[in-house]
Amino acid sequence: METHHHLPDDLLLAYAAGSLAEGWSLAVASHLTYCTSCRQRDAALEAIGTAALEGMPPEPMDAGAFEACMARAESAVAEQPLNVVAGSNTPAPLRRYLGCELDAVKWSPLGGGIRQYLIETGDETRARLLYIPPGEDVPQHTHQGLELTLVLAGSFADGDEEFHAGDIEVADETVDHTPVSGPNGPCICLAVTDAPLVFRRWLPRMIQRFAKI
């Protein structure tokens, strides 16, 4: 599957090093099931880390060394199958948390046709599935921390950018937005945050009190 919105280097490096919190790791691992490019980068980073741990003597790295490592990883990773159950649209890392497929999730209503399903994590992050009907917007908000949003089905638009299945959006305190679900079916996303969202309107702020958004 071709993806157009990828993980930033710092998140992928932390994931390869095993230092990401559980919620972030769930989002990253799920994105990797879709994205060949990020799997290649992850494999290269893990190879570099393994070599360092094995005590290889340090040598100066020329400008093309990292790119060469990425190229070597590509041939090994590009042919790997997606880490999903046969006939499933649910990434295997996510399915282990859900215990079911996306079409069997028991949603809780949030209003305006939007629904959510909370996913338990053992850290400060909050993970949830969001179901957004076609053409429905997520109320305008900004952030107090980081938010990762991975599209699992359907699509959404955010400004002049579109996100489809496998794409991941990274938002922080600098982003104030109103994502809108695509017109051709509901958008189902995995969203992970480490702080409450900051909604601009009073009704979403009221819902936020019990929805743990």
pTM of the model: 0.82
What is the predicted pLDDT for the residue at 28?
Answer: 97
Tens digits of residue pLDDT in 148-162: 999 999 999 999 999
Whether the predicted pLDDT of 87 surpasses 70: no
CATH number (3.30.365.10, 2.60.120.10, 2.60.40.1180, 1.10.10.10) of 100-211 reads 2.60.120.10
Measured CA to CA, the distance from residue 7 to residue 115 in angstroms comes to 26
Tens digits of residue pLDDT in 3-22: 899 999 999 999 999 999 99
**How many of the other CB atoms lie within 10 Å of CB of 122?**
8
CB 134 within 8 A of CB 185: yes
Measured CA to CA, the distance from residue 122 to residue 21 in angstroms comes to 9
Measured CA to CA, the distance from residue 44 to residue 67 in angstroms comes to 9
CA 152 to chain centre: 9
Whether the predicted pLDDT of 79 surpasses 50: no
What residue ranges do the domains of the chain occupy? 100-211
Q: What are 190's two structure tokens?
A: 């995995």
What are the Cα distances from residue 154, in Å, to 114, 147, 172? Answer: 14, 19, 23
What are the Cα distances from residue 90, in Å, to 38, 97, 105, 188, 189? Answer: 18, 11, 11, 11, 11
Tens digits of residue pLDDT in 29-63: 999 999 999 999 998 888 876 665 555 555 565 55
Which residue in the block uniquely carries the two structure tokens 């702080």? 195
